[in-house]
Amino acid sequence: MTPEEWEGFVDQVKKDSSFNSQWRLLEIRGLAQEVIADYMTWMDQQKGVCRRTAMVMAEFLPDLATPKEIHEELCKNMNPPPTYESVKKAKTDVLNKFKAAIESKYEGLWKS
């Protein structure tokens, strides 16, 4: 594994652990299913690669799909397939936009 790949792996583990701890908090507060429903509604409002990325991410919930997993799924179903970089950016956009929407709806949700 190259140093860049290792760094990417470590970053992903950190992000995944943050996501997993946030997901456990949702489950404890009884909001996990409601947030999934919110995500599905929100996802339908997205466009292009962002929407397709969100759809693949929904298939992995409550786990967080990696850009590689998302890209592989999209390559099976899209012609022409998206670039890996566009999927990576779309995943970041999806996470940021949806987290902002959830924080707006459930003010203070991530505070313990």
Residues 6+ apart with CB under 8 A from 58: 36, 39, 40, 43
In tens, the pLDDT along 46-61 reads 898 999 999 998 888 7
pTM metric for this prediction: 0.68
pLDDT tens for each residue of 64-111: 889 999 999 999 989 999 999 999 999 998 888 887 877 777 776 655
User: Are the C-beta atoms of residues 74 and 52 closer than 8 Å to each other?
Assistant: yes
In 3-state terms, what secondary structure has residue 46? Answer: coil
